[in-house]
Amino acid sequence: MENNKLICKACGNDSFSEGKLDGYAALKPVDKVFSNGSALIFTLCQNCGEVASIKAEKPHKFTKSI
């Protein structure tokens, strides 16, 4: 998580948690059919559930530039 304090844009709360989306919903490279891809890590507001950020757990799986 970042060093700076997050503030929810929807409700103004400053308490956040992280969650993971993986399995069949993993993010996969467009050009690689058989890649396992990467889980997505979500940072969300504990009060209202607003998603503050989404990041790939394994960004090195995505090497092709567009």
* Domains contained in the chain, number: 1
Amino acid (one-letter) located at 48: C
Could you tell me if 16 and 46 are in contact, meaning their C-beta atoms sit under 8 angstroms apart? yes
pLDDT band (50, 70, 90) for residue 1: very low
Is residue 48's pLDDT more than 60?
yes
Q: Please give the residue range of the domain that contains residue 49.
A: 16-58
66: in domain: no
Q: What are phi and psi of 6, to 5 degrees?
A: -85, 140
Cβ neighbors of 20 (< 8 A, separation 6 or more) are 39, 40, 41, 42, 57
pTM of the model: 0.78
Mean pLDDT score, 23-48:
88
> Would residue 6 count as lying in a domain?
no
pLDDT at 33 over 80: no
Say if 25 falls within a structural domain. yes
